[in-house]
Amino acid sequence: MTIVWYVLIHVSLGLIGSDVFRFTNVGALYCVAASAAVQGYAMWEIHRRSWPMFLASLDADATAEAVSRARRGYWNRIGRVFIFRVSAFSILTLLIALLVRGAGS
């Protein structure tokens, strides 16, 4: 259900920032920055829920190196999810802004 809220937030961003979010270098950077700010909070929510479960899944008998690799893997996955979400929602925001302006503008 939370994904619906984030879709609505990015649709609203596209509606509000239709003059700023354009398919240009600067417009795309503004859109990515806005998406990163919104998705940063989303990733904090994901981390807050998944971190205790991750810690519970670690073996008590695991070596320090294995724990370090597991933590590095966790942060790599969190980073990839963040990059994917920023990319996907930036495209959504840019497309909504394009629709609001009209394709010819």
Residue 104's pLDDT is what?
59
| Distance in angstroms (rounded) separating the CA atoms of residues 98 and 105 | 8
Residue 2's pLDDT is what?
81
Segments forming the whole domain that contains residue 17:
7-101
**75 within domain boundaries:** yes
**2 within domain boundaries:** no
CA distances to 48, 51, 61, 80, 105 from 70, rounded to whole Å, are 17, 12, 14, 15, 49
> How many domains are there within the chain?
1
Residue 47's pLDDT is what?
96
DSSP state of 58: S
Residue 27's pLDDT is what?
93
Q: Is 54 exposed, middle or buried (0-12, 13-18, 19+ CB in 10 A)?
A: middle
5 token code pair: 């809220």
Residue 61's pLDDT is what?
80
Mean pLDDT, the chain cut into blocks of 10 residues (105 residues total): 88 92 92 96 95 90 89 97 96 93 69
